[in-house]
Amino acid sequence: MDFMKSMQIAAAGLRVQSGRMRVIAENLANSNSTAATKDDQPYRRKIPTFRQIFDRELGVTVVKSGPIKLDRSAFGLRYEPGHPAADAKGYVKTPNVNSLIETMDLREAQRTYEANLNIISSTRRMLARTLEILRA
């Protein structure tokens, strides 16, 4: 595999992880929101997906962002009888976002992003070193 292919593959990884981090940040930002009325639904957690695509130009399989799916798990409930979205028993539906899971997913996405960034940096250093050797 040549240097340019490795950089393009790592760049595809950077794009995917960047999109993943945006979705996770949106989930975290809405983790404490509730519906405005009892007939509305609170924020539903979004799940980023990935797909593999064969890049004919590179001759390799790269990762791309897939469709963003909605988590169909049950909403949480919080007892808050004075809230406009409370049901007859006084419970308000809360988003199905678990901050701990989102934080761990974010950490994994950051580490994967950094690994792809390190690949690009290492490849650039190897290219620069190769050019120095060729000039000598």
Q: pLDDT, tens digit, for every residue of 75-111?
A: 999 999 999 999 999 999 999 999 999 999 999 999 9
How far apart are the C-alpha atoms of 130 and 133, rounded to whole Å?
5
CB 64 within 8 A of CB 13: no
For residue 52 the two structure tokens come to: 């593999």
For residue 130 the two structure tokens come to: 């190769």
Number of domains in the chain: 1
> Which residues span the domain enclosing 51?
3-135
pTM, full prediction = 0.87
Q: pLDDT class for 60, splitting at 50, 70, 90?
A: confident
Q: pLDDT, tens digit, for every residue of 36-58?
A: 888 899 999 999 999 999 988 88
State the pLDDT at residue 1: 53
